[in-house]
Amino acid sequence: MVELLSSPINYDTMKAAIHLEYGPPEVVNIREVDKPVPAENELLIKVVATTVNRTDCGFRSAEYFVSRFFSGLLRPKQTILGNEFAGIVVAVGNQVKEFSRGDKVFGYNDVTFGAHAEYLKIPSKGAIALMPENLSFREAAALTEGAHYALCDIRAAKVKKGQEVLVNGATGAIGSAAVQLLKHEGAIVTAVCGTDNVELVKSLGADKVIDFLKSDFTKTDDRFDFVFDAVGKSSYGACKNILKKHGIYISTELGKNAENIYLALITPLVSKKRLLFPLPYVSRDDVYFLKELAEKRVFKPVIDREYSLNQIVDAYKYVETGQKIGNVLIIVDEQE
Ligand SMILES: NC(=O)c1ccc[n+]([C@@H]2O[C@H](COP(=O)([O-])OP(=O)(O)OC[C@H]3O[C@@H](n4cnc5c(N)ncnc54)[C@H](OP(=O)(O)O)[C@@H]3O)[C@@H](O)[C@H]2O)c1
């Protein structure tokens, strides 16, 4: 049995961005579809804000064929994308103890997605938390995607206070989160970005900035405990010389001919310098951790453009330019 919040909303259908086949942004259409009905252990959330991010792009395009083993071999299993969200709980299954109707929540779900819609259902024990009180729906919606990838890679590299870290692509969703999370860990951060964003990256806490339009970071005289290529534009081979003796390299991309997969297996056997390829994972604890950092203003997601749900194809096109600064929002409910 499900308790519903009494309000004049239509309980049967909702507006959603759906894609029934893999392909370019244009495969996404706005349709009226059945509103999800939460099971006994699920919440129904009225989505206020969500993002279009590189995870959505990857699942929509199925550019890497291997991703189809998760998302559906011939056509997408999850037809409504959208993995991070902020919104209001409007219904709870009768076994739900953690949340109540009216709660403002945010979270992440890259298993069933569904946030590119007016309503989203999600297990109450998922990667979801009450919204930080000092954050808007817009900021809360962008708290988890880039940050959980950054968190996963920083943990894999076992970054310690005082270590020297280089972040390439410090203006992306992952990179801009990584700079802030690394500073929180006490690392000394060199960030790589384009000329226009040098001041932004300094404001995130970077100790040193390299403008990639003016110099090649792989030729710097500095040496690093950890080189994190948050936009996957470099290679282990090109960065090996700037790693310290026991330095670690991580990229967010597979690399040329998927070399980062096999280099992760080979480098620990042949060198003290290593490439790691951690598999990303997000838990509820991670969401609580990010919430705590956001409450303390230690971490603040960088927000670039915002679009309405009707403009989602344009949002996808912009994200796929590879030039977004931080996060691109979809405002589903303008009233909140
Ligand atoms: N397949 C998946 O499911 C998946 C999921 C998440 C992330 N990823 C990968 O992770 C990477 C990062 O994602 P993201 O969302 O954080 O990226 P993003 O936000 O799309 O990154 C864009 C930023 O990277 C900067 N940039 C572009 N080329 C650069 C270069 N050569 N050197 C330094 N900075 C450069 C751009 O700055 P300028 O405008 O100054 O060029 C822009 O600000 C992407 O490669 C993405 O494909 C993949």
Q: Which of 276, 299, 319 is the last residue of a domain?
A: 276
On whether both 262 and 320 belong to a single domain, the answer is no
Rounded to the nearest 5°, which phi and psi values hold at 97? -110, -25
Query: What is the domain range of residue 195?
Result: 146-276
Q: If pLDDT is split at 50, 70 and 90, which confidence band does 281 have?
A: confident
Cα(47)–Cα(54) distance, integer angstroms: 20
On whether both 171 and 303 belong to a single domain, the answer is no
Q: If pLDDT is split at 50, 70 and 90, which confidence band does 332 have?
A: very high
On whether both 207 and 243 belong to a single domain, the answer is yes
Strands (E), the chain: 2-4, 13-19, 28-34, 42-52, 84-93, 104-108, 119-123, 127-130, 164-168, 188-193, 208-211, 224-229, 243-251, 274-276, 303-308, 327-331
Decide if 289 is inside a domain: yes
pLDDT at residue 173 in the model: 98
Q: Looking at residue 20, which CATH number applies to its domain?
A: 3.90.180.10
**Which residues make beta-bridge pairs with 329?**
51, 306
Ligand 1 in contact with 324 (CB < 6 A)?
yes
The tokens describing 291, both together, are 């919430």
Cα(93)–Cα(44) distance, integer angstroms: 8
Q: Looking at residue 155, which CATH number applies to its domain?
A: 3.40.50.720
**Which residues make beta-bridge pairs with 303?**
327
The tokens describing 267, both together, are 């480098």
Mean pLDDT of the 31-55 span: 97
Q: Which of 259, 276, 293 is the last residue of a domain?
A: 276
Q: If pLDDT is split at 50, 70 and 90, which confidence band does 48 have?
A: very high
Task: Please name the residue whose Cα sits nearest to atom 38 of ligand 1.
Answer: 323
Mean pLDDT of the 196-209 span: 98
pLDDT tens column, 28-40: 999 999 999 999 9
Please give the tally of structural domains in the chain: 2
Q: If pLDDT is split at 50, 70 and 90, which confidence band does 5 have?
A: very low
pLDDT tens column, 103-137: 999 999 999 999 999 999 999 999 999 999 999 99
On whether both 14 and 110 belong to a single domain, the answer is yes
Q: Is the pLDDT of residue 142 over 90?
A: yes
Ligand 1 mean position to 122 CA, how many Å? 28
pLDDT tens column, 246-272: 999 999 999 999 999 999 999 999 999
Decide if 336 is inside a domain: no
Cβ proximity of 326 and 172 under 8 Å: yes
On whether both 233 and 307 belong to a single domain, the answer is no
The tokens describing 184, both together, are 């929180």
Q: If pLDDT is split at 50, 70 and 90, which confidence band does 8 have?
A: very low
Ligand 1 in contact with 231 (CB < 6 A)?
yes
On whether both 156 and 247 belong to a single domain, the answer is yes
On whether both 185 and 317 belong to a single domain, the answer is no
Query: Which pairing describes strands 224-229 and 243-251: parallel, antiparallel, or unpaired?
Result: parallel
Q: If pLDDT is split at 50, 70 and 90, which confidence band does 171 have?
A: very high
Q: Is the pLDDT of residue 58 over 80?
A: yes
On whether both 213 and 294 belong to a single domain, the answer is no
What does the angle CA 122 – CA 126 – CA 127 come to, to the nearest 5 degrees? Answer: 115
pLDDT at residue 64 in the model: 83
Q: Is the pLDDT of residue 201 over 60?
A: yes
Residue with the larger pLDDT of the pair 84 and 65: 84
On whether both 12 and 135 belong to a single domain, the answer is yes
Q: Is the pLDDT of residue 317 over 50?
A: yes
On whether both 35 and 139 belong to a single domain, the answer is yes
Which residue from 84, 231, 303, 305 has its CB within 8 A of the most atoms of ligand 1, so it is best to mutate?
231
Q: If pLDDT is split at 50, 70 and 90, which confidence band does 334 have?
A: confident
The tokens describing 57, both together, are 């792009």
Secondary structure (DSSP) of 172-192: SHHHHHHHHHHHHTT-EEEEE
* CA distances from residue 15 to 20, 28, 65, 91, 310 in whole angstroms, order as listed: 15, 13, 29, 18, 9
**pLDDT more than 70, % of the chain:** 97
pTM to 2 decimal places: 0.94
On whether both 240 and 288 belong to a single domain, the answer is no
Decide if 152 is inside a domain: yes
Q: Is the pLDDT of residue 148 over 50?
A: yes
pLDDT at residue 65 in the model: 85
The tokens describing 231, both together, are 């936009």
Residue with the larger pLDDT of the pair 289 and 9: 289
Atom of ligand 1 nearest to the CA of 145: 6
Ligand 1 in contact with 234 (CB < 6 A)?
no
Cβ proximity of 22 and 118 under 8 Å: no
